[in-house]
Structure 1
């Protein structure tokens, strides 16, 4: 009899243990300590932009607000060294979303140009934004009216390895000039460039950004600005060699210009870390491209879900692709 009682007590004990274990599992939602069922989404998101006087930074502030509202995750816009540095930062887990030029994104994922031997394999596209015009800025009284007039002059070409530097190098090449041999190259950011023009420390500056660029607008408030044109034949030659460029123009009235100035442009885009979840990137994409009416910057009119995959030369995150597939049916 005692043996039978002991047997039943043992069975009841086993059932009790199993019941308590099940309760613990239900409360935690994760089984035996495995976190695989829990969200891997970060608690904070950072958007890497550029300098405070470019176009990326003010737009980034607006995007941060839109993403925060859509995802419920606190998102901030961070000042950075722009395209090339942003691609490297994403690869090194130092940011989550970043503004980059389409040409620089391509170089990074292919491991060419400034990324030679350092192919970036954890960065993908979220979507295209707007044209970034390569603006060669001078003062009206500088005596510089063409690319050929740059020979021997002090010219800001951006930081080595930056998107602006690559644009300057390629445009000078098409005009028979080189950074190393034909100009006195200065590696300045947009604010330093316009300050240098104002004080006479440099005579011209390459600025790749959406117009109107705040740094150039500030310069024009105190000095009459001139934008050097890119002729139709030179633009065609450039595009034949570097197909990620497009024909563009700085409109009449921008910076007080009396006439439209022909130019070339690349595209600004957003890149993201590849390992962000599909659901989160879907929400990020929806937050930005689904609320373009809330973007007050002049470039907001170019940001559209319908054209968000145009000109993208790298893989697109599945979450972004899902959103664009839905809205562009």
Structure 2
């Protein structure tokens, strides 16, 4: 099968496998909607795991659903405008939204933004075609690299990194702005050289690109990256351990953020309490829904890189579970 056709088939299969999660257009009798992300990324299935844990403990059959989106920025803006009641977002953009800084400076501080739970870590993940001989992130300058859709957390983080590295517009002139699925197909078809995104590990799309499309992972490190981490508390150094993906013989050093489930201050306290109790009260059952959730604990949920205050309903649930933060 030609690479482009194989890539399209794989992307379709991934979409089909995720369709078991309830989409808001398929169910009108729901308690709340979570703004997810790309359906081939981690946000959408992790939001699905949140819904499944919530529904598993509802005696009256209450449901929740997931709305696909471009990711963090769109989900936060939707919360601010009174749309979906919850959303998935990167910890860095939660910080900037709450404080009204960076790309949220014009809109002002979103003081009613509240955290529910810190979920999976999201390393900056960079794949490049192995046959290009590129061995460092700096070697991507001027190449065809996908930097993410406008409005996504991935794209906004790319802009921060490019600024820290002092890359000019000319250095990025060949960059593309695809969503994850389109970027995957374009990469496997040989139309782009590299693929940048923030995603929980392991990632099925990353695995497929390495296994079937001749991709390899690049580390993202250096003095400028160290300074970026030091200056921003929501960033942390991360490692994708050797053996995570086919043929990966060494650790991949990177940095990243955390994925956070967020809501507004006006969300019903009882609803948020019940949701957190359903997740943190049986953390093993929740973590079993998706591989990026492995290692999650109630303690990390309540205090691992949260950039906005906890919702009172979440606080009460964590306190009842004996969690301190």
- Please say whether Structure 1 and Structure 2 have the same fold, judged by a TM-score greater than 0.5: yes
1:46 is matched with which residue: 6, 21, 33?
A: 33
2:3 counterpart residue number: none
Q: CA deviation at 1:224?
A: 2.6
1:238 is matched with which residue: 222, 228, 234?
A: 228
* Alignment pair present for 1:150 and 2:140: yes
1:310 counterpart residue number: 304
2-side partners of 1:303 and 1:90: how far apart? 25
Q: CA deviation at 1:210?
A: 0.4
2-side partners of 1:321 and 1:181: how far apart? 48
- Please give the root-mean-square deviation of Cα atoms over the aligned residues, in Å: 1.8
2-side partners of 1:173 and 1:147: how far apart? 14
Aligned in 2, Cα 1:135/1:190: closer, same or farther, shift over 3 Å?
A: same
Q: CA deviation at 1:64?
A: 0.6
CA contact (8 A) 2:30 2:65 kept: no
1:196 counterpart residue number: 186
Q: How does 1:1-329 map to 2 (within 5 A)?
A: 44-71=31-58, 72=60, 73-119=62-108, 120-178=110-168, 180-183=169-172, 184-231=174-221, 233-256=223-246, 257-294=248-285, 295-296=287-288, 297-308=290-301, 309-327=303-321, 328=323
Structure 2: gaps spanning 5 or more residues = 1-28
Structure 1: gaps spanning 5 or more residues = 1-41
Kindly provide the CA deviation profile for residues 109-165 of structure 1, in whole angstroms up to 9, marking residues without a partner as x: 222222222132432110111210111111211222212211211111112242111
TM-score normalized by the length of structure 1:
0.82
2-side partners of 1:93 and 1:116: how far apart? 19
* Aligned residue-pair number: 287
Kindly provide the CA deviation profile for residues 161-196 of structure 1, in whole angstroms up to 9, marking residues without a partner as x: 421112222223333324x23122211111122211
User: 3-state SS of the aligned residue for 1:262?
Assistant: strand
CA contact (8 A) 1:132 1:268 kept: yes
1-side partners of 2:164 and 2:133: how far apart? 21
Q: CA deviation at 1:269?
A: 0.8
Q: Which of structures 1 and 2 has the bigger CA Rg? A: 1
2-side partners of 1:214 and 1:208: how far apart? 13
CA contact (8 A) 1:129 1:304 kept: no
